Chain A
Amino acid sequence: MYDVIVIGGGVIGGAVMRELTKYRLRVCLVEKEDDVAMGASKANSGIVHAGFDAPEGTNKAKFNVLGNRMMEGYAAELGVKFARIGSLVLAFSEEDMRLLSVLEARGVRNGVEGLSVIGQAELRAMEPNVSRNAVGALYAPTGGIVCPYELTIAAIGNAMDNGADLYTGFEAASITKANGVFTVKAASGKEVQGKLIINCAGLGAGHVAALAGDDGIKIGARIGEYILLDRESGGFVRHTLFTTPTKKGKGILVSPTVDGNILLGPTAEEAEEGNTDTTAAGMAAVTASAARMCENVPLFNTITSFAGVRAYSHDRHDFIIEESAAVEGLIHIAGIESPGLTSAPAIAKFAVEELVSKHLPLRKNENFSGRRAPDAFFKQLSAEEKNELIARDPAYGRIVCRCEQITEGEIVRAVHENPPACNIDAVKRRTRAGMGRCQGGFCQPSVAEIIARETGIPLEQVTKSGKASRLLMGRSK
């Protein structure tokens, strides 16, 4: 019997799960996929927004600014890469310049620090490859970048290290409540019981609410497509570049990632719930927009394209962070579209301190340790440290992924560490093996073998990303 059941292993569920382990509570998280960070938290822009987009007084504005302030410490504790590189909203006309002043004023009201509108000369000095047509920009020095799936995985891993349980492949299919205790049943028949439920199910949040008897959460899906450029083009831009926002959102951006790639995107189109297909039209829109923002975008250095889906609130157009009016003990954190990644640590703190506390006493967990060693730690070691490690475990001397220079030791560790990586993409998200320019062409067979060996399954059962995504179809003759 758990005190709290968190449903959904995204960046929000992960942050909430970890926050809960700071107290003497029995906590579990259920996730329908075979790994965590498989929803919106896997494929998004990874921008830690400054906080000038959302109107004053909204949850989005409040948690964005708070989250932005917390993110540096949060990421550092969890050993996740974060960089406060600053962001620039580009203006291409007088009309745009006026809009920048509106954004600036809104930002100031929201509590964003350091905003300034800059002219063309300064902009070009900051971004040599910016379009000649850009006449100015809103500079936000507090804008940053973080790796969203690393942040999710690290938070959940840290929560597990602090005693919380994770159930993957657990799709909440029925929720019942009797004598103040919820029973959440998975399609597989497995079940967990707990006093509170925190609904962090992203696109599935409306469905989960309905399962528990609350029909009030209406979630829409909006897809965003991206193109990722090789690290060779790293430095093409130094800040996150936005265009002025439209009704559909913050528009397409051009930004460095924490891993040194350049990211272009996202589009914003209504989508079916689970569909993350990229489209020719979407990629054309991304390239056209990037070409409008920058000179000579190095598209020849494209290494992959992908898409993510935002879950937004149909009727309220803001983050929903509250206890259900219909079902006592059911807490919703729903409609968490952008800036949800940025807001995650602040939302989690609020949800636990203000909402969970109404039902359960928050007694400090004296054994809580919030620190976690980074997954991809090896490269950062000195030669001496590396050699000490290799002497103890020679697998750290064997490079498996040549593009990203990832060793067998790191992959073995990812397979065994919390939360365990049990497929190719899960290993990739933790170690970056297969993330580079050859996209796993060389290392995938070796990674598959390591997974099979370490988890004791036949090679044929190794999957790309869980469920039915088998890599192989039998023995060759």
Chain B
Amino acid sequence: MMKTEYDIIIIGGGPAGLAAAVAAYDGGARDIVILEREARTGGILNQCIHNGFGLTRFKESLSGPEYAARFEAEVQKRGIETLLETTVLSLTAEKKVTAISPTHGVFVLQAKAVVLAMGCRERSRGALNIAGSRPAGIYSAGTAQKYVNIKGYLPGKEVVILGSGDIGLIMARRMTLEGAKVHAVCEIMPYSSGLRRNIVQCLDDFGIPLYLNHTITKIEGKDRVTGVVVSRVDENKRPIPGTEIHFDCDTVLFSVGLIPENELTKAAGIALSGGTRGAVVYQNRETEAEGIFACGNVLQVHDLVDFVSEEAEIAGRAAAQYIARGPHQRDTVEVTNGQNVSYVLPQKLDKNIAGDVKLFFRVRQTMRDCTITVSCGETVLVSRKKRVVTPGEMETVLLSQEKISSGNGQITVTVKENG
């Protein structure tokens, strides 16, 4: 008979799920299972064969699979159970998990605690309402990455990329190295949402032009893409007539944003944040549903996997603690995004949880010589100067336990340019 009850069920075996499992184990939990829909763990890292992972955490540059392998080894060492090819179909607030797999069929598991680590997905072309035809040759950057790196096939030879998210930038380089010609990367915003280092290493080094304030206004081709029209946009993101540039190409890649995959979260009735599109959480990454935690890109889209691991460890430890001690009385303070800040995570602080808290946030636009302020009413808790902030790079600010307990009422994070 299959085991049907666990202390901790971790949904998703990507970097977040793996790190959460290890941290939960090290926090004293033993009865843990990871549910992973693919035939192996590692999640999206498996298709990220480029280097640059782990610089923060391991102080060395690893490929995606290498980074994942380090955590897989830790999971294995601890003998943590993993069910592969297992897709979770539904979750309830009572922590009942329904899943399906080729070996076990449809089955129901009951957990005492759940860690959500389902990751995110790419926004598709369809969401953008781009005019034109719907031929073959239109891919999200991640799909193209899978074809090239996992399946060993080239999805196209003459490429235009819309969106300068990191996967798009990485794929501009990858496709070039594979012998394709990348004609342009178009970004509707006045700045790239990708990491600075990726713009340099993936575009500049290969002479690929980045068109800021530009978008694709038409896709052409009946069976396969034959070209695109790119237009400049005004400050309201509307194409400016007369600015059209035509590119002949056979492929269009989209890298226009990542969306946390929270279908299960929503179905369980767990509150989501409009800013992150992930669950609303306390600093221990517990959602408003007691005993259900969330971490990694299902909670907020991170720039680097290193931060995913760090966040997952918080959630994993907290889940172990929950198993050991059960629920506790909360003393909640809300955290909100003030001027120029698009979101702050965690959205809630529980004064009864000991320890300093790192607040994660993103700014709405690029700013220079600015000050990050964390305040509670009129009282400034933390104030820090920063040379540059951009929406493409997540910012953090540390709030000591002392400051948290000193404040009374809502905490706000704002960023303002000096002078």
Chain A interfacial positions (CB closer than 8 Å to B): 227-228, 274, 276-280, 282-283, 302-306, 383, 386-387, 390-391, 394-399, 402, 405, 407, 437-442, 444-445, 449, 459-460, 463-465, 467-477
Contacts and interface: CB of A to CB of B under 8 A. Distances in A.
A402 B85 CA distance: 12
16 contacts: A274-B222, A280-B239, A302-B127, A303-B126, A390-B100, A390-B106, A391-B105, A398-B101, A439-B124, A440-B143, A445-B143, A471-B155, A472-B154, A472-B155, A474-B153, A474-B154
Contacts of A398: 85, 101-102
Contacts of A440: 124, 143
Q: Which of B133, B136, B155 has the most CB of A within 10 A?
A: B136
A47 to B, nearest CB: 22
A280 B136 contact: no
Nearest to A274: B222
B142 interface: yes
B142 A397 contact: no
Contact of B121 (A228, A386, A399, A438): A438
Contacts of B127: 302-304
A418 B216 CA distance: 39
Contact of A386 (B87, B105, B151, B218): B105
A441 B122 contact: yes
B236 to A, nearest CB: 14
A405 B121 contact: no
A477 B179 contact: yes
A468 B179 CA distance: 22
A443 to B, nearest CB: 9
B153 A460 contact: yes
Interface in B126-140: 126-127, 129, 131-137, 139-140
B157 interface: yes
B103 interface: yes
A125 to B, nearest CB: 27
B148 interface: yes
A387 B153 contact: no
Contacts of B364: none
Contact of B136 (A390, A442, A471, A475): A471
Given A305-B129, A398-B102, 14 more contacts: A383-B106, A396-B102, A397-B105, A397-B106, A442-B143, A460-B153, A463-B223, A467-B223, A469-B136, A473-B156, A473-B157, A474-B153, A475-B153, A475-B154
B343 to A, nearest CB: 17
A460 B37 CA distance: 26
Contacts of A282: 131
B102 to A, nearest CB: 3
Nearest to A468: B223
A456 to B, nearest CB: 18
Nearest to B177: A477
The range of chain B's interface size is: 35 or more
Contact of A472 (B37, B89, B150, B153): B153
B105 A390 contact: yes
Contacts of B217: 280
B136 A445 contact: no
A237 to B, nearest CB: 20
Contacts of B146: 445
Contact of A305 (B104, B126, B142): B126
Contacts, number: 142
Contacts of B137: 471
B134 to A, nearest CB: 7
A368 to B, nearest CB: 36
B147 interface: yes
B90 to A, nearest CB: 10
B132 A438 contact: no
Nearest to B155: A472
Nearest to B254: A441
A399 B87 contact: yes
A296 B224 CA distance: 36
Interface in B225-270: 239, 250
Given A277-B131, A476-B154, A476-B178, A469 B224 contact: yes
A141 to B, nearest CB: 32
B125 interface: yes
A19 B140 CA distance: 43
A383 B126 CA distance: 33
A143 B223 CA distance: 36
Contacts of A228: 126
Contact of B105 (A276, A387, A475): A387
A279 B85 CA distance: 41
Contact of A441 (B102, B143, B154): B143
Given A302-B127, A402-B37, A405-B89, A397 B100 contact: yes
Contact of A437 (B124, B125, B133, B136): B124
A302 B89 CA distance: 23
Contact of A475 (B121, B133, B139, B152): B152
Contacts of A280: 131, 217, 239
B97 to A, nearest CB: 14
A451 to B, nearest CB: 13
Interface in B81-126: 85, 87, 89, 100-106, 121-122, 124-126
Contacts of B136: 463-465, 469-471
A405 B100 CA distance: 10
B142 to A, nearest CB: 6
Nearest to B149: A476
A304 B152 CA distance: 29
A62 B261 CA distance: 48
A42 B134 CA distance: 13
Given A390-B102, A399-B37, A278 B131 contact: yes
A459 B155 CA distance: 11
A304 B125 CA distance: 8
A387 B106 contact: yes
Contacts of A386: 100, 105-106
